[in-house]
Amino acid sequence: MPPVIAFMDDLMFLSRVKEAARALGLEVHGVRTLAQLREACSPPPQVVLMDLDSPRLPATEALAALRSDPGLAGVPVVGFFSHVHGERARAAQAAGCTRVLARSAFVQKLPELLARPGTADPGGET
């Protein structure tokens, strides 16, 4: 089964994602740079989980890179953000994020997002 790619720099949160994935028998690769993301997406992952709030991660550039690559354009991308940054959610949706959730909703729905990433709601949630 293809891995899950976690584009995030919060190691504690990444650990939480890995724990949830492990319970489902999934492997998670944490990446923190655009170059690492590109490398980790070959072959295509089953889903990319993306922190939209980190000032150290180029989320918009990462989404553009994924969506412009014909082999990765269909990979579900689930972004999460702090509820106080609604503009980031709108920008991520415009850039091609499959689903956008507030961090609290992301945590609550994480098992579902990992188990069925292809069923992500293209309209997103904010």
pLDDT digits (tens, 9 = 90+) for 14-40: 999 999 999 999 999 999 999 999 999
Residue 62's CATH number: 3.40.50.2300
- Based on the structure, what is the number of domains in the chain? 1
88 domain residue, yes or no: yes
125 domain residue, yes or no: no
Per-residue pLDDT reduced to its tens digit, 58-67: 999 999 999 9
pLDDT at 66: 95
pTM here is 0.90
50 domain residue, yes or no: yes
String of DSSP letters for 68-103: HSTTTTTS-EEEEE-TT-HHHHHHHHHHT-SEEEEH
Model confidence at 84: pLDDT above 70? no
Domain residues for the domain of 81 are 4-119
Model confidence at 68: pLDDT above 90? yes
* Token pair for 118: 């292809």
